[in-house]
A and B are shown apart, each in its own frame.
Chain A
């Protein structure tokens, strides 16, 4: 007997609270939404990953051949192509790896083959599933097929499916593809630096100066979020293309390439960077600045030792968000990229152009890596963030300064001109009859039904998609966030759910779309029926934009005291009743924010849905892409501006609705 056993009490039974009916309902709800995320994200991504390892190989061993003499008599000796190749050494192992469309002629295995010869050949599949072509007729049967020399020339074997790293080896040994990694990183880094610097000073001017027209500039800065990312590309063609209005400004450089991609990327990522940095700059402790002044620090020194450190988390976050947006964007480089290949466009080219789905999956896997890295680093940095404002903080109030305010006003006007100019150019281009030869105004470019892309129907489809996504998405996201935020215990489950909810942010739209093809277009999948319908577009869009919506909802819910739940429990009210009666009304502003966010993104998204639309569900954003692709650039601009006006109108309605609802439901907040 040792002392230790004497001094410790025997372990008691592990006491667990009994699960109430509410707890069960909430856990079940969480399970359902987690299952949704698993089915719409984890499974498709897994399907894609396994596709990237699915290779096609010629399997010489699965065929048998016979050769006759000059008179056409067969000796009965059966030749195996594998052994023939082994003796002759014609094809190496690398030659055996191919795509789904690969073909391998057999004549090379017969050094003295001549198509004029009277020698006859026999060929057959040795096993079930073997495939060879004669001309373009597929043979899968096991019977011997006799061919004369001239026909044997047209016999080719087809590859069989295998699993392995073949596609990746192939990818990294193709410089044309491999180069895209470098290109993508290059434009992403440059665009990030430019956008973050521009957005920082813009946000600084709005938060730390006494400049006029702040409201107006804030509105303008947010405008690019309302258009598809390829619209700035179209504007740039009109501005700097060979017939561009101000192409002289480029001094002969071509807009088609990195220059165009960077300018366009700055345009469409600006609002994202601005929002994040602005939030970071909005809160600041005036006491730090007072201290700086009393220590006689120069404004420059104060800027680097107080302002920048205070905003560093915002800056880092903005940088990663922009980096991710640029590297995963597909529309812009497609329109203005010229010969400058980037990863996202490679996926499109592999899948749409070459029907090489396996290679598309490989490029997707490659694209996911920097996206996930950027996302992961950002998360790590954010988790280190500590509250800057304490209860004793004094909010910073900018002091008027005629000189600084003037400089900032000029700067912001410049940025606003850039943003508004791009939009104006698109609208102008849409109204011109035939640029540059017939400058009369006309509405011809609005006759979408005469162009590719699905006509006006695609515009209405987009609105439909936006509305459904807003309603369905907001319900799923908010309810999910509520369950994960307010349910008791079940830590592992909640942590897992949080992880699933964060994951979509790291998955590029192109990758998600492609993964959906692999997963949903599989006849063995019971969910196959949604393929080609509006439902799959809604699912894809909700999942694609899940994370930001989820975070908005969680932030709103965190502001609500958990006491509400305790009170409702002690009053013996079901939690769901509390949810409907209290939580939803209180969080209504955030719910509206989530729905408008989903609506706007559903209207503008291209990358995720480009693989998923069907003729009945063509979308306006895809129509912009397709019309531009067919060379109908002006109608593409017209459609792009239709998206802009629709989103702007939705924003205004949202604003009015929020005001009205705020007045009615949030009156208590002001007391």
Chain B
């Protein structure tokens, strides 16, 4: 009998392993989180939930949104983890999100949670516009560092400025929507008219202006602070400038896609995304996270960014998105090459 015990134990262990392998749920998670952070997010989640496997679908904000909207009648995603709130509002207005109040949601800052009950989405962290300023190239071109958005319309910067095209970049859109909110509809367009005169070209992605500034391809790139901080940490001669009027921002948020076949696992994942642990995890790359009191300073993140964040009206942004984009396109897109 003694001999049999270990064998039995091995069998039992084998059986447990087998069942746990069977019990593993796979979640298809759509995200726009930077590629280098994804593995870390999944690892942290799997440390406490080894039974749920995350299959990431990552792309830029616009593409993920397009994908989700295209799949409107046949959703492939179970969860969206890390997509702009503006985009999630679009999905919500299509009735594509499953309302769910994750356990512990009350601990989050209220402006990070959807107003509905149960909320259709919950925020993770904020993603704040900034200006990346290459000190080396700017000096070569004889530029002075700008301190405000209005400064950027100075003729001195003509051809030294790059920003993302809002028609393809979420970052570009949050800039445009913040200017329209800060300067008013007319003032905002007038501002962009003036800015357009200085723009060398518009890029497709939101991180590219900062990377181009980091590489010296252009002295000034309108991008977001997180990208700037990373490039600066990588050794680029960058200054991250927070314009004095205030900066636009969007948040990354999480939501369950209505119609998912794995609702329980999806809820478990969304529960995790609002925990302290998750918020600490977001804090590695983001200075602003949904749970108050968690954020520690991030290296190279510009000071005073929190106070500069405007009181963003996401509903305005989402509901006027189509109109703003087509107006922007008719004004600035497809014009002949800037001189």
B321 contacts A by Cβ under 8 Å: yes
- Say yes or no: is A128 at the interface (Cβ < 8 Å to chain B): no
Question: What string of 1s and 0s marks CB contacts (under 8 Å) between B323-339 and chain A?
Answer: 10100011001111110
> Cα distance A491–B222 when bound, in Å?
63
Residue A573 lies at the interface, judged by CB distance under 8 Å to chain B: no
Within the complex, the shortest CB–CB distance from B339 to chain A, in Å, comes to: 9
Q: Distance in Å from the Cβ of A263 to the closest Cβ of chain B?
A: 15
Known: A242-B218, A633-B215. A339 touches B205 (CB 8 A): no
Are the CB atoms of B165 and A353 closer together than 8 Å?
A: yes
Given known pairs A243-B215, A436-B215, the reply for A138 and B95 (CB within 8 Å) is: yes
Contact B216 A243 (CB under 8 A): yes
- The smallest beta-carbon distance between A629 and chain B, in angstroms, is 5
The answer on a CB contact under 8 Å between A630 and B205 is yes
**Complex: A610 Cα to B122 Cα, angstroms:** 31
**A354 within 8 Å of B by Cβ?**
yes
Q: Which of these, B93, B218, B337, contacts A138 with CB under 8 Å?
A: B93
Contact A435 B215 (CB under 8 A): yes
Contact of B35 with A by CB under 8 A: yes
Q: Does B234 contact A (CB under 8 A)?
A: yes
In the bound complex, residues from chain B placing their C-beta under 8 Å from that of A466 are none
Which B residue's beta carbon lies closest to that of A353? B168
- B 156-173 contacts with A by CB, 8 A: 165, 167-169
Is there an interface contact between A631 and B216, defined as CB atoms closer than 8 Å? no
A357-B70, A434-B234, A452-B35 known; A349 and B168 CB under 8 Å?
yes
B55 within 8 A of partner (CB)? yes
Contacts of B232 in A (CB 8 A): none
B217 within 8 A of A: yes
Indicate whether A352 sits within 8 Å of B319 (C-beta atoms), given known contacts A176-B333, A435-B215.
no
Interface string of A600-644 (1 = CB under 8 A from B): 000000000000001110000000001001111100000000000
In the complex, chain B residues whose CB is within 8 Å of the CB of A355: 62, 65-66, 69-70
With contact pairs A436-B215, A438-B235, A615-B57 given, residues A338 and B95 touching in the complex (Cβ less than 8 Å): no
Q: Is the CB of A615 within 8 A of B334?
A: no
Known contacts being A133-B319, A243-B217, A353-B62, is A632 close to B211, with CB within 8 Å?
Answer: yes
Contact yes or no, B201 A341, CB < 8 A: no
Partner among B36, B58, B333 whose Cβ is within 8 Å of the Cβ of A450 = B36
A7 interface residue per 8 A CB criterion? no
Instruction: Return the chain A residue nearest B210 by Cβ.
Output: A631
Q: What distance in Å separates the Cβ of A362 from its nearest Cβ neighbour in chain B?
A: 14
Q: Is B237 an interface residue (CB 8 A)?
A: yes
Docked complex Cα distance between A614 and B323 (Å) = 30
How far is it, in angstroms, between the C-alpha of A434 and the C-alpha of B238 when the chains are bound? 14
A445 to B: closest C-beta gap in Å: 12
Interface size of A by CB at 8 A reads 66
Q: Which residues of A contact B237 (CB under 8 A)?
A: 437
**Which one of A68-76, A97-105, A502-510, A549-557 contacts B?**
A97-105
Residues of B within 8 A of A526 (CB): none
Chain A residue, CB-CB nearest to B338: A339
Question: Are B211 and A631 in contact (CB-based, < 8 A)?
Answer: yes
By the criterion CB–CB under 8 Å, are B73 and A176 in contact? no
Q: Which size class do B's interface residues fall under?
A: 35 or more
Residue B254 is within 8 A (CB to CB) of chain A in the complex: no
Contact between B204 and A334, CB atoms less than 8 A apart: yes
Is the beta-carbon distance between A631 and B212 smaller than 8 angstroms? Answer: yes
Q: Which chain A residue lies CB-closest to B169? A: A353
A436 to B293, CA, bound (A): 40
Judge if B300 is at the interface, Cβ distance under 8 Å: no
Min distance, Cβ A429 to any Cβ of chain B, angstroms: 11
The residue that B74 contacts in the complex, of A100, A339, A357, A521, with Cβ under 8 A, is: A521
Among A137, A256, A352, A629, the residue within 8 A (CB) of B208 is A629
Do A339 and B337 touch (CB < 8 A)?
Answer: yes
**Interface residues as binary, B137-150 with A (CB distance below 8 Å gives 1, 0 otherwise):** 10000000000000
- Flag if B322 contacts A103 (CB, 8 Å): yes
In the complex, what distance in Å separates the CA atom of A552 from the CA atom of B172?
A: 47
Interface string of A204-248 (1 = CB under 8 A from B): 000000000000000000000000000000000100011100000
Contact of A109 with B by CB under 8 A: no
The answer to whether B35 and A450 touch across the interface, beta carbons within 8 angstroms, is yes
| B52 neighbours in A (Cβ, 8 Å) | none
C-beta contact mask, A130-146 vs B, less than 8 Å → 1, else 0? Answer: 00010111101000000
Contact indicator A137/B217 (Cβ below 8 Å):
no
Q: A339 and B322: CB pair below 8 A?
A: no
Q: Is the CB of A351 within 8 A of B116?
A: no
Bound Cα distance A237, B234 (Å): 21
Of all chain A residues, which has the CB nearest B91?
Answer: A136
B334 touches A352 (CB 8 A): no
Q: Does A528 contact B (CB under 8 A)?
A: yes
From B56, B115, B205, B338, give the contact of A631 (CB < 8 A). B205
Q: Which residues of B contact A351 (CB under 8 A)?
A: 66
A183 shortest CB reach to chain B, Å: 8
- Contact sample, A vs B, 28 pairs, CB 8 Å cutoff: A98-B322, A103-B323, A136-B318, A137-B116, A138-B94, A154-B315, A174-B329, A174-B330, A176-B329, A243-B216, A257-B337, A334-B204, A339-B336, A341-B333, A353-B204, A436-B216, A437-B216, A452-B60, A455-B35, A521-B70, A523-B73, A528-B74, A614-B57, A615-B58, A626-B59, A629-B203, A631-B209, A631-B211
Inter-chain pairs besides A135-B115, A176-B334, 18 sampled, C-beta below 8 Å:
A133-B93, A135-B315, A136-B318, A138-B95, A154-B319, A176-B330, A256-B200, A338-B337, A341-B333, A354-B62, A434-B234, A517-B70, A629-B203, A630-B207, A630-B211, A631-B209, A631-B210, A631-B212
User: Top 9 nearest A-B pairs by Cβ distance?
Assistant: A631-B211, A353-B168, A176-B334, A631-B208, A523-B74, A101-B322, A355-B66, A615-B57, A353-B167
